[in-house]
Structure 1
Amino acid sequence: MNYLPERQRLSSQTVLVISNDAEDRAHYSELFATQGLSTVERGGLAAAKDVIASNGADLVVIDEPSYCGATLDFFRQTQAKGGAPVILVSSAAKVTDQILALELGADDLMSKPLDLRLLMARTRALLRRRGSIRPGCDSQQIVGAWSLDSVRRELTSPQGRRVALTASEVRLFDLFSRNQGAVITIEQIARCLGLRQDQCNVAVRTAMSRFGRKLRNEAGETPVRNIRGAGYIYDDMADSRASPVQ
């Protein structure tokens, strides 16, 4: 790894680095130190759970050769409850595995060889997002008649039904909330999900299909509508046609 120039300290935030390779862990720690971040190193996912359980990390970086079952189980057990954001680094992975990792809780995906400036840009973005959510602050976002509690990662439907979201679906909801009434392109969604350009078509369709099913109302309609050849748009009329709670 080539290191970036030292910059102003971000804060006392801590990055948990998980890798079976001690040399890789050391490289990450040195890199984050130049950026004013402290690190905690763990040699595997099982060993990292103590740090996760004690809320001892503001960001998690997992360096795995491929997305094995243990990695996905890690997301199921720790990230679905709204834990620290996760960047998953891998040298090889199928598109379907990447989609599953995003749906289970990964916040960003990166491939080796790493672009260190991009890694730090994504690190700072995730830490800013985490730092902006504090106890007692307004964590609610609204799209149409749906509202999101970003701390709990929980949507509330117009009829009061609650729906749990993955980290990537929270980002999708945020994207639509900031662009209400506008068509969101495939490229915008791909960037939101951390997907490469050559992966975007199948991956975006799969992610949007599952996201749309979670927003489906009692009439069987979803407010997320595909505009062929353009992208996706949020359709407020679908919410208005939903039956009220009895």
Structure 2
Amino acid sequence: MTETRRPKILIVDDEPDMRALLQDLLDDNGFDTIAVADGNAMQQALGDNAFSLVILDLRLRGEDGLQLARELRAESAIPIMMLTGKGDETDRILGLELAADDFLMKPFNVRELLARVRALLRRSAATSPRADDRHSHHRLAFGDWILDLTARQLSRSDGTPVELTFGEFNLLEALVQSPNRVLSRDQLLDMTRSDNSEVFDRTIDVLILRLRRKLEPNPRQPRYIRTERGLGYCFHAQVSQV
């Protein structure tokens, strides 16, 4: 009988009690974990292991958790959940703008943390690329872009890839599959956010800003992702399947 592989999670937190709590909680609920205290240990762990998720403290002693998240995102599309003890929405927005896929405030409810971890892993597994035939991929084309929904890859028509975070891809997929239709922030949140994740008004705005920087020739005068003042956003393009 084949043993099911337990998802591996990397915990990065400089508080020993928090590391122990997270590690015990996740190990007892079907995950394999490695817990480290700083960025150097995080990089070593990432080099030695294949992780399904990283849980990263925003406020590491003597280090910038946001910078670590940015560096990780530049190398990998692995989902990142950030933890913070501050109740400042600015931190959450900044974290999302840089790299994070979800945020959780300390102190947190353990059931909520488990629900969010499972939701991120489910979505990541359901949308990860598979080794199937090229022609079985579901691709959508607009302008000079091709969005491969199977491989979760955005590329220019000449094949040049553009790296998208987990959250960015989810939002772009929602927009591209509803072209020339105005979608409110609430609708976009429902279509893109993980189960039980915290919802706040600026999440979509931050992700839209990031997508415009990657998609638009002039992000200040967007061609594709247009703001419909007081209503939401509209993906303005002719979309075809290729």
TM-score normalised over the length of structure 1: 0.75
Question: Residue 67 of structure 2 aligns with which residue?
Answer: 73
Structure 2 stretches of 5 or more lacking a match? none
Matches within 5 A, 1:158-177: 162-177=161-176
Partner residue, 1:156? 155
Instruction: Confirm or deny that 1:39 pairs with 2:33.
Output: yes
CA contact (8 A) 1:67 1:93 kept: no
TM-fit CA distance, 1:144: 3.6
Deviation at 1:174, TM superposition (A): 2.6
Distance, in Å, in 2 between the alignment partners of 1:160 and 1:126 is: 28
Rate the CA distance shift 1:22–1:125 in 2: closer, same or farther, 3 A.
same
Residue 225 (str. 1) matches residue 226 (str. 2): yes
Aligned counterpart, 1:54: 48
> Residue type of the partner of 1:155?
L
Q: CA 1:40/1:210 → structure 2, altered by over 3 Å: closer, same or farther?
A: closer
The offset of 1:206, in angstroms, is 4.0
Is the 1:61–1:89 Cα contact (8 Å) retained in structure 2?
yes
Q: Does the C-alpha gap of structure 1 residues 222 and 157 become closer, same or farther in structure 2, counting only changes over 3 Å?
A: farther
SS at match of 1:171: helix
Alignment-derived partner of residue 244 in structure 1: none
Question: Who is 1:136 aligned against?
Answer: 131
User: Percent same amino acid at aligned positions?
Assistant: 26
Comparing 9-18 and 118-127, the one that deviates more: 9-18
Say whether the 8 Å CA contact 1:183–1:233 is kept in structure 2: yes
Distance in 1, matches of 2:89 and 2:140, equals 31
Contact 2:153 2:161 (C-alpha < 8 Å) held by counterparts:
yes
- Give the alignment of 1:68-217 within 5 angstroms: 70-92=64-86, 94-132=88-126, 133-137=128-132, 141-142=139-140, 144-145=142-143, 146-148=145-147, 154-157=153-156, 162-190=161-189, 192=192, 196-197=198-199, 199-201=200-202, 203-217=203-217
How far the C-alpha of 1:42 sits from its partner, in A, is 0.7
**Per the alignment, in what secondary structure is the counterpart of residue 30 of structure 2?**
coil
The alpha-carbon deviation at position 55 of structure 1 amounts to 3.7
CA RMSD of superposed structures (Å): 3.5
Deviations 1:174-223 (A, max 9, x none): 322444454322124456467855x414x5334323322422248x6421
Matched-pair contact (CA < 8 Å) for 2:56–2:81: yes
Stretches of structure 1 that go unaligned for 5 or more consecutive residues are 1-8, 241-246
Task: Measure how far apart 1:154 and its partner are.
Answer: 4.9
Partner deviation per Cα, 1:113-137 (whole Å, 9 max, x = no partner):
2132222222112212333324524
Distance 1:91 1:139, change over 3 A: farther
- Is the alpha carbon distance of 1:105 and 1:193 closer, same or farther for their aligned partners in structure 2, counting shifts above 3 Å? farther
User: Does residue 1:30 correspond to 2:31, yes or no?
Assistant: no
Paired residues in the alignment total: 229
How does the TM-score come out when normalised to structure 2?
0.76
Q: Which moved more, 1:118-127 or 1:92-101?
A: 92-101
Cα drift, residue 86 of structure 1:
1.0
Tell whether the 8 Å contact from 1:223 to 1:234 is kept in structure 2 after alignment: yes
